[in-house]
Amino acid sequence: MGIEVVVEGLTKSFGKQNIWQDVSLTLPAGEVSVMLGPSGTGKTVFLKSIIGLLKPEHGRVLINGVDMVNSPERDIMETRKLFGLMFQDGALFGSMSLFDNIAFPLREHTRKKESEIRRIVMERIDIVGLLGAEGKLPGEISGGMRKRAGLARALVLDPQIILCDEPDSGLDPVRTAYLSQLLIDLNAQIDATMLIVTHNLDIAATVPDNMGMLFCRNLVTFGPREVLLTSDVPVVSQFLSGRREGPIGMSEEKDAATLAAEQLNGNGNGNGYGSAPRTVVPQLEPSPGMPVRQAALRRRERVLGMMGRLPEAARTAIMNSYTPAAGGARP
């Protein structure tokens, strides 16, 4: 099973530029979480801070008792072995075959024999649907195949935490749908804790157990997917609907005068931005033949236990999702 990741009061700056501040959240063990946000809000910086590749100025990231910000480097390096990282562009070596790219972490970080490495690599290649392409170079395959090869490489060391940096970038909607299903199937098979950074609304609506959003140097919200998907917070509502009207501007946030003018022109639905209530689509389930996703069972108990602390719209969406007649998730 995956490992819980606890983030406490994380603050990161580059020089005088504050990226985000006082970010606190918990990634539940084995569940799939998504971090949303407009371009330039520090989502990738957040991933790199969790794994210890970047050092925030304040706060902690606790994994199995190790603080990825402040612990000794040897402890951070050892804990980093629990991670698998899927980069935005696949980050494959252009001169190596897919097989050698995927085998690279095993050859670098283990003393396994080549026969064992081949068995592991071919298993991962099969999981991501690339059998038959293992001899090809990255330049000879499509962007979607490179993404899957990058995911296979992230899996070879049996990670308990998987970080995916915009896995949908450069993919068309059909390939994005296939990738979304692959991520859910993968979670069903290995029960790893997963954090996906994206601004793709299709992935956000169908894949995660939990969702968060970064905007204007702050974590706007993080919690069960239904909380964000039914939120009437203006920045969340604007992002999920893809409208121009709202706090998000072309560069970052809009100024107060622009926001006031937009709200005066709103249709009086409560937040001044004309957003209609959203329907929460069902979460993806594992493909036929896959095991039951244990994270979904744990999440159900966890979320039902916090119902009294959730907004009414989120509670309604959760209850609908767990009612068989509504076509929701299995108990």
**Torsion-angle region of residue 65: left (phi > 0), alpha (psi -120 to 50) or beta?**
left
What is the chain's percent helix, strand, coil content, to nearest 5?
Answer: 40, 20, 40
Q: pLDDT at residue 90 above 80? A: no
The answer to whether residue 229 scores a pLDDT higher than 80 is yes
Average pLDDT over residues 164-172: 86
Q: Which residues pair with 13 in a beta bridge?
A: 18
Contact 228, 212 (CB under 8 A): yes
Predicted pLDDT of residue 41: 85
Over residues 50-68, the pLDDT tens digits come to 999 999 999 999 999 999 9
**pTM: predicted TM-score of the whole model, two decimal places:** 0.87
**Digit-coded pLDDT (tens) for 155-164:** 999 999 999 9
Share of the chain above pLDDT 90, in %: 63
pLDDT above 50 (res 328): no
* Residue 239 in this model has a pLDDT that exceeds 70: yes
Contact partners, residue 219, CB within 8 Å, separation at least 6: 20, 22, 23, 24, 25, 212, 213
Token pair of 91 as six digits = 């980050």
Residue 212 gets the label, from left (phi > 0), alpha (psi -120 to 50) or beta, of beta
Give 157-181 as a 3 state SS string: CCCCEEEEECCCCCCCHHHHHHHHH
Do residues 233 and 221 make contact, with C-beta atoms less than 8 angstroms apart? yes
How far apart CA 238 and CA 247 sit, in angstroms, is 8
Q: Which residue has the tokens 């050892």?
A: 78
Predicted confidence band of residue 193 (pLDDT cuts 50, 70, 90): very high
For 28, the 3-state DSSP assignment is coil
The phi, psi pair for 148, rounded to 5°, reads -70, -35
Could you give the CA distance from residue 157 to residue 306 in angstroms, rounded to a whole number? 35
CB 290 within 8 A of CB 185: yes
Burial class (CB in 10 A: 0-12, 13-18, 19+), 111: exposed
Residue 133 has pLDDT above 70, yes or no: yes
Q: Is the pLDDT of residue 2 over 60?
A: yes
Higher pLDDT, 67 or 331: 67
Of residues 329 and 24, more confidently modeled: 24
Least confidently predicted of 39-53, 70-84, 229-243, 275-289: 275-289
242-264 per-position pLDDT tens digit: 888 888 876 555 555 565 555 55
The pLDDT value recorded for residue 255 is 54
Q: What is the mean pLDDT of residues 91-104?
A: 92
The Cα–Cα gap between 78 and 22 comes to 26
Domains, the chain: 5-228 (3.40.50.300)
Q: Supply the mean pLDDT for the chain.
A: 87
Q: Which residue intervals of the chain are DSSP H helices?
A: 43-50, 73-80, 98-109, 114-127, 143-155, 173-190, 201-206, 225-229, 234-241, 256-264, 294-304, 312-321
As a whole-number percent, the residues of the chain with pLDDT over 70 amount to: 88
pLDDT band per the 50, 70, 90 thresholds, residue 100: very high
**CB 318 within 8 Å of CB 310:** yes
Q: Rounded to whole angstroms, how far apart are CA atoms 211 and 216?
A: 17
Which phi-psi region, left, alpha or beta, contains residue 270 (left: φ > 0; alpha: ψ -120 to 50)?
left
* Average pLDDT value for residue range 179-193: 94
Tell me if residue 84 falls in helix, strand or coil: strand
Average pLDDT over residues 210-215: 94
Distance CA 32, CA 13 (A): 27
DSSP at 264: H
pLDDT band at 71 (very low <50, low <70, confident <90, very high): very high
Check if the beta carbon of residue 152 is closer than 8 Å to that of residue 128. Answer: yes
Residue 265 has pLDDT above 80, yes or no: no
Q: How far apart are CA 142 and CA 144, in angstroms?
A: 5
Concatenating the DSSP letter of every residue in 187-202 gives: HHHH--EEEEE---HH
